[in-house]
Amino acid sequence: MPAKFELIAPCFFGCESTAKFELNRIGAENIRVDDGRLTFSGGAEMIAAANLHLRTVERVMLLLARYKASTFDELFDGVYSVPWEDLLPTDAAFPVTGSSLDSQLSSVPACQSIIKKAVVKRLMAKHHTSVLPESGTEYKIRFMLRKNVCEIMLDTTGEGLHKRGYRRNAMEAPIRETLAATIADLGRVRRDSLVEDPFCGSGTLLIEAAQKAMNIAPGLKRRFAAERYSFVPAAVWAEQRQKALAESKLDVGFEAFGYDIDPAAVALANANAKLAGVGDRCRFEVADVKDFRALDNATVLTNPPYGERLGDASEAASLAKTLGQVWQAHPAQGLYAITADADFEQHFGKKAARRRKIVEQRHHGGDGGIEFQVLRVLAHLADGLVDGGFHLGPDALAGNQTFAQSPHPLQEAAAAPDAGAGPGSGFFEVADKHLIHPQGIRAELPDDIVGIHHVAPGLGHLLPVLPQDHAVAGPLGIGFRGGHHADVVKEFVPE
């Protein structure tokens, strides 16, 4: 067993810089950013630390092999060369999932069968047995074929990292925890921040902001696949959990206030906050957006109802207009709003000063995906500069949006995160047995793996553009909601 492992963490296109910062914080080595994912290295303790601490990536996978495979023989030989006997016990269950793009081996079920066969042959030979019952711990094997290059990976996470363990229930179309954490990071949430949300729903945005401010590791309330792996000792997990608990900052000045017109949503948000350990920092109340008055020193993070959460486009437009009116009457430090409405700027009543398109690929039977935008509002001192000097073409207005305003735009410009680029990976799910034939394998598509290999080539012109005047540069907000997402960050200037 190697002292150091090479690990892969898929993330949303455009979120790489945030994820890289997280990896640096936990001591990851040899960090490389590439195509909507990060590759890094570390020992068994890094497997535990990455799963426990990373807020903005979707999962952590152990890279076992990377090689050229344009024939089934090459595919088989590469898999067979992996020392599976050091990783999987005799009774291990090992379903194979994966994907293929722009490769000669285009049949995913056939590739699954070949990979399964190679692992079976190796385990039988090295464990000196003719029977593999697959009755023990599950070790999920994942493969990715891209342009005839195959990567063989072992999933260490299990359920996606957005499954924090605190959200027992949610309202319709809730924002993912990993996405909410990214918005909190790009919105400059700090230990002493005051954050508000006039459309709080089940509270995810504010809960993630609170956990970030208090440095509560997002994985403390759940278990991971690798906790059952024999090559990651239980003592390592115990040590990393204890370390994460010790690093929590429970005495910070952070406060959050959320409002929603639905009493059931408010009750659920309060319950979720309590389960997440931030119930004394996040308070949720029943209130209409027309009565919202942002506190002067608050940052607003919100996900206005649209699509699945509302269903009526005219009602969504009315809510956006109301939000714009109350915001311009009482502009606070910043506002980040996520919406699927391509005309949100028009309804809100203010052009964005900055935006970033971010893509999430969540397959549901091969659907074509949904595009979103994220926009940000800046302080009034830059109003003329934004309206007159910073413009993104209408083709960038394709979806979900976040608004924010900043009283210190020069400082924020210097600290603004870089935009990442590139596709991650969507994986096909299957629970097959090792002797099944290719035609007997059914591929299903999970909703917790992200990537953009279908849409990334056309997104180059949508990457964040810094205006000439640094007064309007600042941090970026990002938001997503179900399906494929392409989010654009914008900055707005209230009157």
Digit-coded pLDDT (tens) for 76-99: 999 999 999 999 999 999 999 999
Distance CA 248, CA 251 (A): 9
Q: How does 309-326 read in b/e, with b if 16+ C-beta sit within 10 Å?
A: bbeeeeebbebbebbbeb
Opening angle at CA 283, ends 279 and 288, nearest 5? 150
Q: Check: CB of residue 477 under 8 Å from CB of residue 374.
A: yes
Distance CA 327, CA 379 (A): 12
Distance CA 184, CA 374 (A): 13
Distance CA 319, CA 323 (A): 6
**For position 311, what pLDDT does the model report?**
59
pLDDT in tens, 251-269: 999 999 999 999 999 999 9
Q: In what order do the strands lie in the sheet with 255-260?
A: 282-286, 255-260, 194-197, 298-302, 334-339, 373-376, 354-355
Query: DSSP assignment of 102-149, as one string?
Result: SSS---HHHHHHHHHHHHHHHHHHHHT-S-----S-B--EEEEEETTE
Q: Which residue has the tokens 């029943």?
A: 286
pLDDT level of residue 404 (50, 70, 90 thresholds):
very low
**For position 307, what pLDDT does the model report?**
61
Q: Residues 119-124: what's their mean pLDDT?
A: 98
User: In the predicted model, is pLDDT for residue 428 greater than 60?
Assistant: no
Please give the share of the chain, as a percent, with pLDDT higher than 70: 68
Distance CA 478, CA 337 (A): 9
User: In the predicted model, is pLDDT for residue 492 greater than 90?
Assistant: no
Q: Check: CB of residue 285 under 8 Å from CB of residue 254.
A: no
Distance CA 232, CA 211 (A): 27
- Count of alpha carbons within 13 Å of 50, Cβ hemisphere only? 36
Burial class (CB in 10 A: 0-12, 13-18, 19+), 354: buried
Q: Specify the higher pLDDT residue, 398 or 136.
A: 136
**For position 3, what pLDDT does the model report?**
83
Distance CA 115, CA 399 (A): 39
Non-local CB neighbours of 246 within 8 Å, separated by 6+ positions: none
Instruction: Please name the amino acid found at residue 354.
Output: R
User: In the predicted model, is pLDDT for residue 69 greater than 60?
Assistant: yes
Distance CA 78, CA 415 (A): 44
Q: What is the mean pLDDT of the chain?
A: 77
User: Do the strands 282-286 and 149-155 form a parallel or antiparallel pair, or are they unpaired?
Assistant: unpaired
**For position 356, what pLDDT does the model report?**
64
Q: Check: CB of residue 284 under 8 Å from CB of residue 202.
A: no
**For position 338, what pLDDT does the model report?**
75
Q: Residue 146 pairs with which residues in a beta bridge?
A: 101, 149
Non-local CB neighbours of 171 within 8 Å, separated by 6+ positions: 201, 202, 262, 264, 265, 268, 309
H/E element holding 100? strand 96-101
H/E element holding 274? helix 263-275
User: In the predicted model, is pLDDT for residue 495 greater than 80?
Assistant: no
Report how far apart, in Å, the C-alpha atoms of 65 and of each of 49, 78, 80, 449, 465 are.
Answer: 22, 7, 10, 20, 37
**For position 121, what pLDDT does the model report?**
98
Report how far apart, in Å, the C-alpha atoms of 45 and of each of 23, 148, 358 are.
Answer: 13, 33, 31
Distance CA 482, CA 467 (A): 31
Distance CA 141, CA 97 (A): 6
pLDDT in tens, 332-348: 888 887 777 778 888 98
